[in-house]
Structure 1
């Protein structure tokens, strides 16, 4: 959430007025969307991802006063049921998220109610024991950055530094942590070619992808179409095909599925809430459109489970609790 200089209720009214979804023509390969049980709490700007047969949702903002919660939930796809998890150790939004083994890592983010300060903390959730523990902190505090796990190494890149409502700068920094080897020290890697925040990070085919995002706190005019791919063997980024439209607020709704990179929802220019679902094929360096969501959503949580896509929570005129399942036709 990056709106500045407005009282909370005015903010919510403005968001509602700008919530028309962006949709484009789907390809013949489509999705049929069906509702599933709603999240126990309406949320947006949550952290989360799919691990195994479960979609995890951690924290987020829960009301028009832009207050953050520590509540966390898991949606078990086979039984179509939600359960409460052990709450986050602290209220945080805009953290990067990644899974390795039985653990889910949350790195950085903004602390507490909006506009909270950036954080360098790393929290690790044990999916088997329903427990949290601290991880090695980031070298510096960042909010709205991306976290990706690739080959036993965590990669954190991008994000912003903010003081109150004022964004000081976007960061191109890229740090790595060898979790497989038990390292407790983050190391520098090649920086992002273009600094930004509210971006997504995805691992696919042995490479990392930095997808979309926004510049500073401007989600009205400065959402980005940029996509960069990182080769860890060469420690080098290169630009690949741009997104079909500029979009940010996709950090928890972008993921790999069957050899493609999927981006669900987000925010585009004019602060419009995106309904579109797009897929990137790295072999062809090309984006395609899938059947859009029934409604636009900014900052939802999404992932793939059992060949289907699951999408929950997000912003559209206020926090939402809706959950959808997308089945490929």
Structure 2
């Protein structure tokens, strides 16, 4: 969450110029390959650990170098939003909760939920989520979206330990075993049939950040009624991203306490469940936080879109990490900077929705292929 420093995030945010809403518009766009823009980091702490197999659907299938075209603004979301949670299930992007406006410079939480169908370029409202939550960790599988932890209510709200499973087919929510302790702005990753939650922060009643946490908890989705403890994450931090690829879990970026100006992190750590250990790999090209719901896998890469960087500035940058070479590359930037959007891959298209600018929350939907 951005500290309230007098910059009023007005409800409605920035108005985006909308392009033609036809998926064939990309046919004439200039193709840019990752291979052409690969720029390895100068600092590479060590080679990434050897990958291990995981359940079908998690491990990437070897493919040619992916291609990415320029971004296009399509149908706006039903409401302006930032600090929401979401991901892709069944070829659609689901977005839950977050802050939809500011009143007297105070971010106001919403229970609204919506889904974006790129085939029709259409957003649809869903039933409200169970609570007014922001900053939750989020993970998906083929049928469900999982939310864990976060902050409750308008800013500054308390952290929660609640864990929820959203069933896409039934549009229903089911409570799962709660985290051992409340945590806001942590990361949630699904690896096979287990959920991993790590990082996060707690605050006092006034909203003052108290401590970043390295705790790493694991829940078996096949009947276990409690979370077990795993190896703690290096460099305790919050507002970080998590991703799973090739049987490994990545903790990416984040920030220390509430310091969005100077506390954003470049660190990337990888967890190997076979050894219950973490190892540092090549850092992000720039410090980034507020990337929890805008980091995802695509064609064997981990994509990190937008976020907040040094000086409390929203970022438009899009980066791709290649675990095979332990290097980062830069992809075409978004049309505008965004704090805490919701992003994922749908088919072979990348979708980045909502998020805030310095003027306030937006309803933008950016799509690229």
TM-score range, shorter chain: over 0.9
Answer yes or no: is 1:51 the counterpart of 2:86.
no
- Cα deviation 1:97-125 (Å, max 9, x = unaligned): 01134111100000000000000001111
Paired residues for 1:144-163 under 5 Å: 144-163=185-204
Query: CA-to-partner distance for each residue in 1:155-208, whole Å, 9 max, x for gaps?
Result: 0000001112210100000000000x2111100000001100000000111100
Structure 2 residue 143 is the aligned partner of structure 1 residue 102: yes
TM-score of the pair, normalised by structure 1: 0.92
Partner of residue 34 from structure 1, selected from 52, 72, 83: 72
Contact 2:90 2:142 in 1 (8 A): no
Q: Measure the CA separation in 2 of the matches of 1:98 and 1:251.
A: 10
Aligned length in residues: 311
SS at match of 1:234: coil
Show the counterpart of 1:219.
260
Q: Secondary structure in 2 aligned to 1:62?
A: strand
Residue 165, structure 1, aligned to residue 207, structure 2: yes
> Are the aligned partners of 2:198 and 2:216 in contact in 1 as well (CA < 8 Å)?
yes
The Cα shift of 1:64 comes to 1.9
**1:191 aligned residue (212, 220, 232):** 232
Q: What CA RMSD, in Å, does the superposition of the two structures yield over aligned residues? A: 1.4
**Alignment partner, residue 40 of structure 2:** none
* Cα distance in structure 1, aligned partners of 2:275 and 2:170: 37
The answer on whether the counterparts of 1:89 and 1:132 sit within 8 Å (CA) in structure 2 is yes
Cα distance in 2 for residues equivalent to 1:257 and 1:200: 15
Tell me, what secondary structure is at the counterpart of 2:116? Answer: strand
SS in 1 for 2:345: strand
* Counterpart secondary structure, 2:98: strand
1-side partners of 2:128 and 2:68: how far apart?
A: 36
How far residue 80 of structure 1 moved from its aligned partner, in angstroms, is 1.2
Whether the 8 Å contact between 1:3 and 1:11 is mirrored in structure 2 is no
**For residues 270-285 of structure 1, what are the structure 2 equivalents within 5 Å?**
270-285=311-326
Which residue matches 1:12? 8
Which residues in structure 2 correspond to 1:1-329 (within 5 Å)?
1-4=1-4, 6=5, 10-12=6-8, 27-28=36-37, 30-65=68-103, 66-163=107-204, 164-179=206-221, 181-316=222-357, 317-327=359-369
Shift of 1:211: 0.3
Scaled by the length of structure 2, the TM-score of the pair is 0.82
* CA distance, structure 2, for counterparts of residue 210 and residue 264 of structure 1: 15
What is the CA-CA distance between 1:50 and the residue it aligns to?
1.4
Structure whose CA Rg is larger: 2
In the TM superposition, structure 1's runs of 4+ consecutive aligned residues that sit over 3 Å from their partners are: 26-30
Counterpart for residue 22 of structure 2: none
Would you say the 8 A contact 2:354–2:361 is kept in 1? yes
Q: Secondary structure at the match of 2:173?
A: strand
Task: Tell me the CA shift for residue 78 of structure 1.
Answer: 1.3
Deviations 1:67-104 (A, max 9, x none): 00000000012111111111111100000001134111
Over 3 Å counting, the alpha-carbon distance change for 1:223 and 1:128 in structure 2 is same
Structure 1 unaligned segments of length 5 or more: list them: 15-25
**Kept after mapping to 2: 8 A contact 1:108/1:122:** yes
Distance, in Å, in 2 between the alignment partners of 1:270 and 1:168 is 22
Is the contact made by 1:31 and 1:290 (CA closer than 8 Å) also made in structure 2? Answer: no
Q: Distance in 2 between matches of 1:96 and 1:123?
A: 11
* Alpha-carbon separation, structure 2, partners of 1:79 and 1:31: 20
